[in-house]
Amino acid sequence: MDCIFCKIANGEIPSRTIYEDQQFRVILDLSPATKGHALILPKEHADNLFELPEKVAADAMNVAKKMGAVLKDRLNADGLNLVQNNGEAAGQTVMHFHLHMIPRYKEDGQNINWKPHEPSAEELDEICKQITEA
């Protein structure tokens, strides 16, 4: 397999590692949105969240909680975004599950938001029905 994130996570390619354990390597992003933007990389390959074993997904959130607190504290961040994209249409550019931790600062100029739509009650009912009915 020729996955760059597998190679980074397993130490075959140098990185600016800020945390490592048996399952994960956390590195600074080379094209950060803000100061301290980091990526949580599982050492085992999974293309996306849907291929990731449940235990690894849960453990990734525990790493995010732990390291997110470190980033906020040590970099004096005012907040933190966790961003995880699945599939090209969602903005995923490397097909190896990864979780972005993006420290946020007042007036940092980033806009990690979306334009809300205003669906009717009927549209919401139809969507709910689509999701919940077999």
Q: Which of 37, 45, 96, 98 is catalytic?
A: 98
The strand pair at 79-83 and 38-42 is best described as: unpaired
3-state secondary structure of 34: coil
d(C-alpha 71, C-alpha 16), whole Å = 14
**If we measure between CA atoms, which residue out of 2, 4, 28 comes closest to residue 15?**
28
35 and 103 Cβ atoms separated by less than 8 Å: yes
Active site residue 45: no
β-strand partners of 83: 100
Where in the sequence numbering do the catalytic residues fall?
A: 98
